């Protein structure tokens, strides 16, 4: 009988392997990293397709500095898939919003993600 820790280790290996395949397929087909895809995904689900940067950071699970670097790259790299806005009620807060280019990029990425997950999680 398999111990709980062995099942846990197998689960984490499968998760890492799946994330690696997703990342490689996304990069090859849409030039998105998996974390960039997650940004677009969570923004698309959010009300008005925008979120506070801090809330988005929690969803993605990156440090503040890593998240800030990635958002800066996404503003430049992907031809404006996101936009950064200063909160009108709190000048220290930053909102990130999804643009139409971001929606288009997400739709392309979603096809890839769905295909990979269907194959791997049968």
Task: Supply the pLDDT for residue 91.
Answer: 66
State the Cα–Cα distance between residues 79 and 1, nearest whole angstrom.
52
Among residues 83, 76, 74, 84, the alpha carbon closest in space to that of 109 is found at 74
Enumerate helices (H) and strands (E) in the chain, giving the number of each.
5, 3
Local confidence band at 2 (pLDDT 50, 70, 90 cut-offs): confident
Please, what is the Cα angle at 106 between 83 and 100, to 5 degrees?
45
In the chain, the number of structural domains is 1
Domain of 36 in residue numbering reads as 4-120
Q: Are 42 and 54 in contact, with CB atoms under 8 Å apart?
A: no
14: three-class secondary structure by DSSP: helix
**More confident of the two residues 89 and 94:** 94
pLDDT tens-digit readout, 11-25: 999 999 999 999 999
Here the CATH number for the domain that contains residue 92 is 1.10.10.10
Whether the pLDDT of residue 90 is over 80: the answer is no
Local confidence band at 78 (pLDDT 50, 70, 90 cut-offs): low
Among residues 58, 50, 62, the alpha carbon closest in space to that of 88 is found at 50
**More confident of the two residues 90 and 66:** 66
């Amino acid at each position: 009988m398999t111990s709980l820790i062995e099942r846990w280790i197998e689960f984490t290996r499968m998760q890492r392997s799946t994330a690696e395949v997703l990342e490689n397929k996304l990069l090859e087909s849409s030039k998105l990293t998996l974390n960039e895809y997650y940004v677009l995904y969570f923004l698309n689900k959010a009300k008005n397709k925008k979120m506070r940067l801090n809330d988005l950071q929690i969803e993605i699970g990156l440090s503040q500095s890593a998240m800030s670097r990635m958002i800066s790259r996404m503003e430049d790299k992907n031809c404006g898939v996101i936009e950064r806005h200063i909160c009108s009620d709190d000048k220290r807060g930053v909102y990130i919003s999804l643009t139409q280019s971001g929606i288009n990029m997400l739709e392309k990425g979603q096809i890839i993600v769905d295909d990979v997950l269907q194959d791997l999680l049968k």
